[in-house]
Structure formats: C-alpha cells, structure tokens
Amino acid sequence: MSLDSPPAISGDQLSAVSMGAMPQRDRRPKALLAMSPAGLADRVFGAGWPGLHDRVELLSHSVVSDWHLVDPAVLAQTEVIVTGWGCPAITAEVLELAPGLKAVVHQGGVASTQLPPAARTRIRFSNAGDANATPVAEYTLAMILLANKDAFRATRLYFEEQTAIDREERFPLSGNFGRTVGIVGASRIGRKVITLLRPFDLRILVSDPTLDPQEAELLGVELVDLDHLMASSSVVSIHAPVLPSTFEMIGASQLGLLETGATLINTSRGELVDQDSLLAELRAGRINAVLDVTTPDVLPPGHELYSMPNVVLTPHIAGSMGNELARLGEHVLAELDRYRSGQEFAYAEVPVQ
C-alpha cells in the first residue's frame, strides 16, 4: 500500500485485539468508519457520533475516505468497518493489512460488493437496505394516491386557468375508490408498498416471476403476468432489480397496454424502462409518469423530461434523505449491538459472488 502522503490516522500506542473469541457485550470492538463525504457521518449518527462511540472503539476520529491515508498499524487492529455511501472499496490490499477484519456493517443497501469476491466468504455483512426501503415505499404510496386523484393534472390546470375548476366535469374518473394498482416486483420495497396500500380501497396486482401463488395470497394481492398488469392498472409502480432479464422490461409493447390517463411510477432504476418508448408515449400525452430515476441519472440540462407537463420528475429523493438518515444510523447501531453480544445480524447479507 502506498503511504507517500502523511498518514491521517496514527496507530501509535493502540493495543492489539484478540481475534479468536466471539465479541462480548462488555467490550467494544475496534472499528473504523468509512464513507463520503465526511459530513454524512454526522447526518447518520448525530454530531460527534455518540451512539457509535458507545458501541465500538473507533481507531480514528476521522472518517476514512482513502485507505492509503490509514496507518497499517490501525488496519492490523481493525475488527469491524462501519461503511456508508461513498465508502472507498475495501480492496485485497486493504484486507491483507487487516487480517482480523470480521464484519462490515453498511449504512447503505449492499455491503459485500465493497470487497473483492474472494474475501466475501470470510467476512460477516449487514446492510441497511430494509431501513432505506421505508422512505421509498412512503414516497411511492404518496405518488400512487395523488396520481389516482389526478392531483398533478389538476394542479397544472388550475395554474393555467386560474379560475374555479368543475371537478366533476373535468375529472369524472379520478379518485382512489376501487382503482387497480400494479406493482412490478415483489421486492423488499415492493412488499412495503403493498403493506402501505392495504388500508385503501384499491385492487392490487403484482407481477413477479419469483413470487408463488400461495405467497401472493398471503400478501393479499393478485399475481398476474406483466402484460395483464399493464393493461389493467391505473397506476403502475416499478420495484424490480436491474438484471439482464429485467433490462428495459417495460418497453413499447408494455407501455402501449396502459390505459389512457394511466401513470407509470419508477423509483427503482431507469434501466428498467425503455426511455425512448416512454418518451414517445409522454409526447403524445396519452399517459403520465412519476420518475425519481432516469437514464442517465442525472439527465443532461435541457432534456425534455424536465419540462413535460405530464411528468413529475424528482432528483432521486425517494430514498433516505434529510432526517431519514437518522433511521439508517439507528439501524446500524442496533446491528452493532447484536454483533457485540454474539448474535447473528438481524439484516445479514448473503454476499454477492
């Protein structure tokens, strides 16, 4: 490892830690905190990171943003790395200097991809994907209800006409009573959305090839194929992962099945939708879209999606932001408590190979 720059973290006078025994509640494992920008840590754990200090012995009061600035003596004593968004990759070179590393507790969605594949079987991982799914599901719920209410179109109309609007004449089909909502992907977020939708008078369809009929029945949804879902739903919300099989899974054929006036919501990834085909439908004014993600993400200045009247475009805000970051911090601290007491992580991650 290159140490040409003066080390930002000193390992002087730090005691060695035994790596043989399972962590016990009466001690704090030696740890490093790595994420970027450095100020993110204060948003996640509070100024000064009091909860983190209660649970681990931080070997540095600085947030690691570059492993080359970490004294090898410190890495040699590190048992746990608490990581977050923007964490520098934990390379084979880093791992060679940290032979006692036992766990990575991540403030974001996937932890194991921060390490090379060969090392993923010897490290325990925990991620905060479940905690981060909550605000995404809340955003989706709000957009579904507002879309069925025609709130976005009504806002534009009111702005343009600036006079009384005859709701029954102009919006005869709007509302959430008895409408059909389609959920593409019974993922962690998709399931949270389904749960949030239960109190409402809505019919919920789900398309997911990995979901079996018995599980769909337990979720209280109707399991259908994608084309059926697209043709039957007033609002379609996408919650599938990006895989070779799901790349641009919502294409011209699927979009053409949407009823006139339907709304497509995407909080997952832009790559799941054929954006050119979506643009064609939006230009025609036939459907609406709520897009928190696009291709690329972020769009270049002047892109037409910024100004389309039938598009609500938000800058990737569905996930944790603002005070919601504290939820991620509480999640990490709870996982550290489990680690110290010798328990399995509640949100253990199966390493990505």
d(CA 27, CA 30): 9
State mean pLDDT over 200-219.
97
In this model, does residue 14 exceed pLDDT 90?
Answer: no
d(CA 167, CA 169): 6
E-strand ranges in 243-306 read 263-266, 288-291
Nearest Cα to Cα of residue 84 among 23, 42, 147: 42
Domains delineated in the chain: 30-127+323-340 (3.40.50.720), 133-313 (3.40.50.720)
150 and 174 Cβ atoms separated by less than 8 Å: yes
Q: Where are the alpha helices (DSSP H) in 149-212?
A: 151-161, 167-170, 188-197
Beta carbons within 8 Å of 343's beta carbon, 6+ residues apart: none
d(CA 239, CA 249): 12
**Residue 206: HSE in the Cβ half-sphere, 13 Å Cα cutoff:** 29
Kindly report, residue by residue over 61-81, the tens digit of the pLDDT: 899 999 999 999 999 999 999
d(CA 44, CA 289): 32
Distances (CA, A) of 138 to 70, 98, 191, 258: 39, 40, 12, 24
Kindly report, residue by residue over 106-119, the tens digit of the pLDDT: 999 999 999 999 89
Per the listing, tokens 């709870």 go with: 334
278 and 248 Cβ atoms separated by less than 8 Å: no
Take residue 289 and report the two structure tokens written for it.
């879209």
State mean pLDDT over 320-334.
98
Kindly report, residue by residue over 40-68, the tens digit of the pLDDT: 999 999 999 999 999 999 999 899 999 99
Distances (CA, A) of 60 to 17, 54, 78, 169, 320: 16, 14, 11, 65, 26
Kindly report, residue by residue over 152-203, the tens digit of the pLDDT: 999 999 999 999 999 999 999 999 999 999 999 999 999 999 999 999 999 9
Kindly report, residue by residue over 122-159, the tens digit of the pLDDT: 999 999 999 999 999 999 999 999 999 999 999 999 99
| pLDDT attached to residue 88 | 96
